[in-house]
Structure 1
């Protein structure tokens, strides 16, 4: 192609010069051709891109199509059920409820119900009366002085910095108006979190917001944060599903002066949270840290979030709870499918236990040690629909959180640019001209709507199952098609552990 380009340009130049003597205005075509000729010459002599050296000018189309490939795939290639990480049907479900649009679906399911892993709930021919009051769960064990009544569907952990200030404000106001909680993420409490919504203050390995000058935990700074009236619960982030064992990542492009001041770090630098906590390094140390946080917060509920890796380590934590007598008020279970704004690809793809197995394992282990009665289980991986909530509670969760679902309610289009500071919808960027697209006064309503309409759908599913309370759900209410084509209940796949069964053995 290089030879074709050079010879072609010479031929065109000769033709133009020849025509000039017949019709002089033709010389102006050189003004149009000159930029392409110069670009082609640059392509031939540059040394970084083989495609451009071999295919001058034309090679740029390859980079153009590569740049817009995600959009081409999302809008013109992918089907309704095969998009990743969130398919079009799930995105439509969230958009419709957030905007109070049509909630019905025509012509039947698009899912192949004969495939392995197809899931469904069993219904009753004697459905119960639908309950109008949305369910709430009280979080707070024996040592908690200020139990919190939580919605069963809330905003999962997303930090200011990962999200724009407009997105954080819209989420918080939506939580306030819808009476559900807003997890701050590990980036600390910003002014944009303080618009009246209930907060779960998440403390990660970087101790942002309660960080000493040397990067360790500061009891004094934590006490000031936990005393805020908006803070209803405190969550220790041990790990998250998308990057367990790695720690959070705030790219330098998103770490502006304001965010750096809130977190207590240097601005315009990539902030990497340590993989583990410096405040503890074993199970008994975790229990002691839980007690310290509870005491410093005057008895507010304290729990921890983790993705399951080494099962023995979680068993050790349960044994430490029994030994020390110190229990968390809640445990949040994340899965390997969890979302993140920025993570190494190997951690996202190959580290951590998948959500379903992780939730089952945590619930069964707590039951086996007779701890579940005092500890609420929250879960937060790919919870988008009423059925997702129904399934999670049937497995054994008490409360569900959603991060990406709430982002979609805000207007996220899954552009997959969360880590670039170029989010086109203003959800995950701090660039002013992009944030302007997210109008807080409109978007908080969509967050509230999505929460309310999804729970309304859940109450209809609950009634269809013949039940009136979440406490009546168990693993026998949800079924899955196995690879040998059998339909098995989750109770058959994952037999429940009786309370105290591990202690008896």
Structure 2
């Protein structure tokens, strides 16, 4: 009984707060052989998780303990597809302060300096109130941004004072009319909040591109209904498409209107890349309208969610690396890259992940699952049932209390700082002291048991304005067919 009372009262372990006594079984397994621990976790909690090494790195950094392990790497360096960052014979000193990325093109009057790693889109409703509070408090402590997800701008996002990227999805939650359209007046009022630093229009999500988000009715309590502007107790299904545009040109115009309504704050959009021709059509619309978004977030198909059909998660959309290179090269070739910053989201957890994405064309990154790990997520895959065992993805107040905001916010801060520091250490080892010094030839990939090629050799990289001057053969058909007034395949 004494142990049970202690478990419920302590603040460090969410699993013990909800499962006193029984939760000790998990920690007992952590002290056993890694193979047994991995077997238990992957068979009973995680489903399709991050690999064991990645999870360990996130957990250890969040707790502030050393992440070094004895006996060297366990990776198969000769496996086809393995990637390697190339160290330099002339390393650089690690910068004392991490660099930031200025978000704001020529039409933006209130630019924002983004951190290299931020909290990716996760909605209040999908996450508990305490989880949102912990993430935003961590963002405030560490000076990075939290994407609100499409579920609306709640008091739990605003109360701690962390920087926010307000995401607007197809349901226009938090700024919707009675019939589900976009309400300009409500949007302008909320976008003016001092903690809202950027606004993002969600076109598609990596884990389920082409279909809307789903929030089960069991999680739609009175508070969620009020924040989203929906009916309590009813399952909320976002439409698969936006009402505010039907063509690339209308999309570009709407983004410009959003920036105007937001008082000149940076505006961008998020997508999981599919058709290169469609994205080129958006580039042509930008050129025709002489206006651009301030940022584009590329969401990889490997990104996670608590509610997506398995077929979509596994088989629809480009992986993050290919999506990044497509968007980066399209913007370079169209002569627009210097006006638009690119964010990357989708299974980013470590410093090496961050560096690889910068090499592939990103300017900054966002992490979701890793941030959830930092606040106690064990990937129990109960997100859609409202019975999350650690209180992260639930609207059950009793379960949600397991997330101690004071402790978990510090873990978020520590994890972000340690991961960015790791990325800077890796870059310094590569002879680079600024992300702009990273180039595709610095990332190698094994293409077969006997051959290694750099990304500069494996992929085509366009020159500035090349599509406008003379599109290379591999791009010419798509570029010529791209129509700023139609989404053509």
Taking structure 2 as the reference length, the TM-score comes to 0.87
Cα distance in 2 between the residues matched to 1:136 and 1:180:
10
**Is 1:327 the equivalent of 2:285?**
no
Partner Cα separation in structure 2 for residue 425 and residue 130 of structure 1: 37
Per-residue deviation, 1:75? 4.4
Aligned match of 1:89 = 53
Residue 271 of structure 2: which of 306, 329, 334 is its match? 306
Counterpart-to-counterpart distance in 2, 1:110 and 1:451: 24
Q: Aligned equivalents of 2:439 and 2:52: distance in 1?
A: 30
1:338 correspondence with 2:303: yes
Q: Does the aligned pair in 2 maintain the 1:74–1:83 contact within 8 Å?
A: no
Helix, strand or coil: the match of 1:438? coil
Structure 2, unpaired ranges of 5+: 1-35, 471-489
Q: Is the 8 A contact 1:396 1:474 kept in 2?
A: no
Match among 159, 178, 183 for residue 123 of structure 2: 159
* Counterparts in 2 of 1:77 and 1:446: CA distance versus 1, 3 Å: closer
Structure 2 residue 147 is matched with structure 1 residue 183: yes
Q: Distance in 2 between matches of 1:368 and 1:500?
A: 5
User: What is the aligned residue count?
Assistant: 432
Instruction: Point out the structure with max Rg over C-alpha.
Output: 1
The match for 2:104 is 140
How far the C-alpha of 1:360 sits from its partner, in A, is 0.8
SS in 2 for 1:174: helix
For the residue of structure 2 that corresponds to 1:176, the secondary structure is helix
| Cα distance between partner residues in 1 of 2:180 and 2:130 | 28
In structure 2, distance between residues paired with 1:239 and 1:165: 25
Counterpart-to-counterpart distance in 1, 2:340 and 2:58: 30
1:323-402 residue pairs with structure 2 within 5 A?
Answer: 323-402=288-367
Unpaired runs of 5+ residues, structure 1, are: 1-71
SS in structure 1 opposite 2:113?
strand
**8 Å contact from structure 1 (residues 181, 198) kept in 2:** yes
Deviations 1:143-168 (A, max 9, x none): 00000011010000000000000000
1:411 to 376, 385, 394: 376
Separation in structure 1 between the aligned mates of residue 458 and residue 423 of structure 2, nearest angstrom: 24
1:235 is matched with 200
What is the alpha-carbon distance in structure 2 between the residues aligned to residue 328 and residue 431 of structure 1? 39
CA RMSD of aligned residues (A): 1.4
Asked if the contact 1:294–1:302 (Cα under 8 Å) also holds between the matched residues in 2, the reply is yes
Does the C-alpha gap of structure 1 residues 83 and 113 become closer, same or farther in structure 2, counting only changes over 3 Å? farther
Query: Partner of 2:22 in structure 1?
Result: none
Alignment partner, residue 459 of structure 2: 494
* Equivalent position SS for 1:236: strand
> Residues 183-219 of structure 1, C-alpha deviation per residue, up to 9 Å, x if partnerless?
0000011000011000000000000011000100000
How far off is 1:335 after superposition? 1.2
Tell me the CA shift for residue 418 of structure 1.
Answer: 1.2
1:123 matched to 2:112? The reply is no
State the match for 2:20 in structure 1.
none
How far residue 89 of structure 1 moved from its aligned partner, in angstroms, is 1.0
The one of 161, 168, 174 equivalent to 2:132 is 168
Instruction: Determine the structure 2 residue equivalent to 1:104.
Output: 68
Shift of 1:503: 0.5
Shift of 1:484: 5.5
Superposed structure 1 runs of 4+ greater than 4 Å apart: 72-75
- C-alpha contact 1:479 1:489 (8 A) present in aligned 2: yes
Alpha-carbon contact 2:78-2:449 (below 8 Å) kept: no
TM-score of the two chains, using structure 1 as the length reference: 0.84
Q: CA deviation at 1:84?
A: 2.6
Q: Secondary structure at the match of 2:150?
A: coil
Q: 2:430 aligns with which of 465, 469, 472?
A: 465
CA separation of 1:83/1:394 partners in 2, compared to 1, >3 Å: closer, same or farther?
Answer: farther
